Chains A and B, each alone.
Chain A
Amino acid sequence: MKFESSKEHYAANACVVWCFDDRFYKLLKAFGKQEGFAHIDLVKIAGGAKALAGNASSDRDFVLNQIKTSVRLHGAKRIILMLHRDCGAYGGSKSFADADAEKVELSKQLYQAQELVKKELADVGGLSVDIYFAEFDGLYAVNS
């Protein structure tokens, strides 16, 4: 396949940690358009920010290193962490008592992930760490 890719280096508008569940890929594209992102560093992995909410693990270190690399190489000043409804990494919606319980639990997980990233990147000035819950009807900012 022939395709021309830009040779220009770029500054990333954000480093985005997003689940690889393809049902939410169009949502990411729409969100990027709404936010006016020209370039993002996308860390697209199973479970999205889940690895950042758990105890120390190789997965957690990997995701943290990806974020740090985005900040170092592309100057990302905004980190976006996402979890979503019916995520297989959590066993799907059926793992929770009901829809509200799922949202509450995953919001708490997002808070944990956010706290970890803020702590790990405390020396980076002007950094914002924003957390989002993806639903099938849209993207919800989690107040933090």
Chain B
Amino acid sequence: MKLGVYSLKKVLFQGDAKSVNCNTRSGEITVLDNHEPLISILEKGTMTIVDAAGEKHYIPVGSGFLEIDSGSQAKILVEEAK
């Protein structure tokens, strides 16, 4: 999927990803390619992104918002955890 993770200050990740795992209001979810269109409020935790090369990226999240559209593009806005 095409994934962009943004905070108010900077781009935290932008590129192809195999999966993204994060904490939501109702628990932990893992999003893969071709996920149905989804929006979710993120809660505090560490987001784990596996990029196209299989490398893991960890982003501490204080709160945020995730959106996956029907074209397998995901946008995540986060407030970084302090």
Q: Residues of A with Cβ closer than 8 Å to B? A: 100, 103-104, 107-108, 111, 133, 137-144
Q: Are B65 and A103 in contact (CB under 8 A)?
A: yes
Q: Is the interface of A mostly helix, strand, loop or mixed?
A: mixed
Q: Which of B26, B38, B39, B70 has the most CB of A within 10 A?
A: B39
State the 6 A-B residue pairs at the shortest beta-carbon distance, nearest first.
A143-B40, A140-B37, A140-B39, A104-B65, A143-B24, A141-B38
| Contact-residue bracket for chain B | 10 to 19
Residue on A with the closest CB to B38?
A141
Complex Cα distance, B23 from A143, in Å, reads 11
Q: Residues on B close to A: CB < 8 A? A: 24-26, 29, 36-41, 65-70, 77
In the complex, what distance in Å separates the CA atom of A140 from the CA atom of B25? 16
A-B contact count (CB 8 A): 45
Q: A100-B65, A100-B77, A103-B65 are in contact. Are A142 and B70 (CB under 8 A)?
A: no
**Complex: A139 Cα to B26 Cα, angstroms:** 20
In the assembled complex, the Cα of A132 lies from the Cα of B70 at a distance in Å of: 14
Q: Would A107 and B41 count as touching, CB distance under 8 A?
A: yes
Interface contact B37-A143, CB-CB below 8 Å: no
A139 close to B37 (CB less than 8 A): yes
Whether A108 contacts B41 by the Cβ 8 Å rule is: yes
Tell me which residues across on chain A come within 8 A of B66, comparing CB atoms.
Answer: 143
- List residues of chain A with CB within 8 A of the CB of B41: 104, 107-108, 111, 143
Contacts of B65 in A (CB 8 A): 100, 103-104, 107
Chain A residues positioned under 8 Å from B26 (CB to CB): 143-144
Alpha-carbon distance between A139 and B36 when the two chains are bound, in angstroms = 9
**Apart from A111-B25, A143-B29, A143-B41: 18 A-B pairs, beta carbons within 8 A:** A100-B65, A103-B65, A104-B41, A107-B39, A108-B41, A111-B41, A138-B69, A139-B37, A140-B38, A140-B39, A141-B37, A141-B38, A142-B40, A143-B24, A143-B26, A143-B38, A143-B40, A144-B26
